[in-house]
Chains A and B, each alone.
Chain A
Amino acid sequence: MNMIQAINSAMEVVMARDPNVIVMGEDVGYFGGVFRATAGLQEKFGKTRVFDTPITECGIIGVAVGMGAYGLRPVPEIQFADYIYPALDQLVSEAARLRYRSAGEFTSPITVRSPFGGGIFGGQTHSQSPEGIFTHVSGIKTVIPSTPYDAKGLLIAAIEDNDPTLFFEPKRIYNGPFDGHWDRPSQNWSKHPAGEVPTGYYKIELGKAKIVRAGDALTILAYGTMVHVCMAVVTESGVDAEIIDLRTLVPLDIETVEASVKKTGRCMIVHEATRTGGFGAELSALVQERCFYHLEAPIERVTGFDTPYPHSLEWAYFPGPVRIGEALKKVMRT
């Protein structure tokens, strides 16, 4: 399976098990979503469980919150993460706080799916990585898969979780893993072990990172598409780096991160989102707080720039093998 099929399979499996799971969003019904992630679901589960919505993100999330309060488990789709901002208030002030403000009387068990990140020439409005905005908010979980296998297991866990969860799907690797630049086409998931996805039910616990590559020289923290780019860079560089796929940003698997950095003594953080106040800043602070006496070099961040996503210069913005490779050399030199 590719990642889209795995995501589709996750929804199908959960919907078959739990009649309270419903899927909604722009174009998700008859058509099956602009990325085909919900294809076939309406046919299988009917129009009252899988349906198109008006183009109003604040409405989609607000309605989902109400459905969650009723007792359903809505899985709303925001077509591109760039369009999540009109729904920001419903996510931040409502979904994220409902349990707290009502002392558990009402909860918001919603899972918002949204494709995010660059690498498809989507320009400013189809490429952003807004995860840092939400990791700053108390009461909401943020999950980002990097493989089809993880995508299915994590999405099932997110839908069954009783807290509101943002599930950001790295759309550059929907169809296959990618090693990081415009002249390096993504490969087919069918040739990748993580493309082996069971058709049945399984889940991957939220808040558990995965060591993608074990190593002793350096710890690389990444998620989504960047896991694959880092893998390619490390393979080419010959550096014995440990690559950690965070998978869940909130709650973060701090134990795995801390143990790795204490072992390697070096840390590099890679994400596509803009740099200032990004999730990399939080990771950097955590590593510094917990591993300061183990560090042999300053923590290095490779991120998108503090600019909007530039359409024609997309590959300069996207952290590719050259930028990551240079940063790697810098950390290793010290």
Chain B
Amino acid sequence: MASDSPRANLKPLSLYVPEPKFRPGDTVDFTEVTIPAAGSVRRPDIADPADSFIDLAYELVRVLDHESQAVGPWNPRLSPDTLRAMLRSMALVRAFDERMFRAQRQGKTSFYMKCTGEEAVAVSAAFALDYEDMCFPSYRQQGLLIARGWSLVDMMNQIYSNRGDRLQGKQLPIMYSVKEAGFFSISGNLATQYPQAVGWAMASAAKGDTRIAATWCGEGSTAEGDFHSACTFASVYRAPVIFNVVNNQWAISSFSGFAGAESTTFAARAVGYGIAGLRVDGNDALAVYAATAWAAERARTNQGPTLIEHFTYRAEGHSTSDDPGQYRSEGEPTAWPLGDPVKRLKDHLIAIGEWDEERHAAQDKELAEQVKASQKEAEQNGILGHGLHQPLDTLFDGVFEEMPWHLREQQAQMLAEETASGRPWARKK
């Protein structure tokens, strides 16, 4: 204290600590969430300078209206076949999540993370990007791999850390890495992939390549220094990169207010960096597709980076280790005013006469069967609960390209101790 007696003419300061609107037991009322009408937000030309459409960082790009019609300048006018393929991928992601969540509860793996309610964010982006573009995802973009047609069995092998795990059991479940499918190794340290995506994009530009990079983080991790470093670099070098901020309202139990949501939007982070910023309805598969395609075209034509905030809602817990019932109202997921992305795309296809409930139900059944069959196949390679799938000596592989003496020594000691213990752990052939 500067002085023992407060100065009489000044009121004491007070510290503001934000608090979410609803806690367990509260009735949810989302009427304060501003949702502009679908089709009401303008679509700038990709060559327009970023500072000429700052308003879009505070708006909400929406394509699907209340009658499930696609309207306005952002309507990507996709063919029914493409729409059906997107719907199928999103439904497959949901079926995959359901099954793997249950597998975790059955003790077949240690950990799982669903993306329920956020399927459009990853799936639509995958459809809007080229297969060759490199994605630097966070942990809730399994939809990228699924939409790119990657093998479910391969993903499950990773989740089970089994004999078929391409990552040799070295990573947490769901921390996939699939270079072949343009999917960068996931890190648990948040937003570290942001500058890495910029570096990849800068390298592509420096080499005169045509590929671009895209990266994803949650709204909570926009607070990380890496996020801001990445924005600075991307702005400075006009890197061909797309920054996606998945604003799903919750970072484990911390609501978006702790990342600054009460003061501004996350898309508005772009404004200070002179980057193009877009705020989109993340539960509108067509809006996400349109925004991503627009940003990709900007990147591919050397117009620089775009930051897209996907306004969405995390309908389930953060992970299998989380119980959202402890910190938020049970009513939130169903009251979320932007609805369910799968249902909204389905309703759109039905509204335009290209789909029906029967086909949808049949597809759901088929996808559930596909996931089940994949699971069976993956479990042939073992499950985490039964451990010991990787040869013991592989523990030391890949720390360096070539194993130095100190690792060889530790490896030899470990193998000798293991042999002495008589435990039946497999060795490399």
Contact = CB atoms under 8 A, between A and B. Distances in A.
Given A69-B200, A207-B404, A252-B406, A49 B206 contact: yes
Contacts of B232: 54, 56, 59
B319 interface: no
A121 B226 CA distance: 32
A103 B177 CA distance: 9
B399 interface: yes
A89 B192 contact: yes
Q: How large, as a class, is the contact surface on chain B?
A: 35 or more
A315 B310 CA distance: 57
A59 B166 CA distance: 29
Contact of B196 (A63, A103, A138): A63
Which residue, B189, B195, B201, has most C-beta atoms of chain A within 10 A?
A: B195
Interface string A151-192: 000000000011100000000000000000000000000000
Interface string B370-399: 000000000000000000000000000111
A37 to B, nearest CB: 21
Contacts of A68: 199
A254 to B, nearest CB: 6
Contacts of A62: 192, 194-196, 198-199, 226, 229-230
B229 A54 contact: yes
A100 interface: yes
A98 interface: yes
A139 B399 CA distance: 5
A54 B195 CA distance: 12
Interface in A63-119: 63-72, 74, 86, 89-90, 93-94, 98-107
Interface in B133-181: 134, 136, 166-168, 170-171, 175, 177-179
B233 A63 contact: yes
A254 B405 CA distance: 8
A11 to B, nearest CB: 17
Given A99-B401, A104-B398, A163-B401, A65 B199 contact: yes
Contacts of A207: 404
B274 to A, nearest CB: 13
A48 B400 contact: no
B261 interface: no
A86 B166 CA distance: 32
A251 interface: yes
A66 B200 contact: yes
B69 interface: no
Contacts of A104: 398
A102 B192 contact: no
B85 interface: no
Nearest to A100: B398
A53 B194 CA distance: 16
> Which interface residue of A48, A70, A250, A254 has the most chain B CB atoms within 10 A?
A70
Contact of A103 (B134, B170, B199, B233): B170
Contacts of B166: 103, 105
A58 interface: yes
A58 B225 contact: yes
B203 interface: yes
Contacts of A141: 400
Given A103-B168, A138-B399, A70 B406 contact: no
Nearest to A282: B406
B255 interface: no
B115 interface: no
B225 A63 contact: no
Contacts of B199: 62-70, 74
B406 A67 contact: no
Nearest to A49: B206
B409 to A, nearest CB: 9
B185 interface: yes
B236 interface: yes
A43 B198 CA distance: 25
Interface string B223-245: 00110111011001000000000
B184 interface: yes
A54 B184 contact: no
A143 interface: no
Contacts of B171: 101-102
A150 B185 CA distance: 35
Contact of B170 (A71, A101, A106): A101
26 contacts: A48-B206, A54-B232, A56-B225, A56-B229, A56-B233, A59-B195, A59-B198, A62-B198, A62-B199, A63-B195, A66-B136, A66-B198, A66-B203, A69-B200, A72-B207, A90-B226, A94-B189, A100-B399, A102-B167, A104-B398, A105-B167, A106-B184, A139-B400, A163-B401, A251-B400, A254-B406
Given A67-B202, A105-B166, A161-B401, 20 more contacts: A49-B206, A54-B229, A58-B225, A62-B195, A62-B199, A63-B195, A63-B196, A65-B196, A66-B197, A66-B201, A69-B200, A86-B225, A94-B192, A99-B398, A99-B401, A101-B175, A102-B185, A103-B168, A141-B400, A254-B406
Sorted from nearest, which 9 A-B pairs have the closest CB atoms?
A: A66-B199, A62-B195, A59-B229, A251-B404, A63-B199, A66-B196, A70-B203, A102-B185, A66-B200
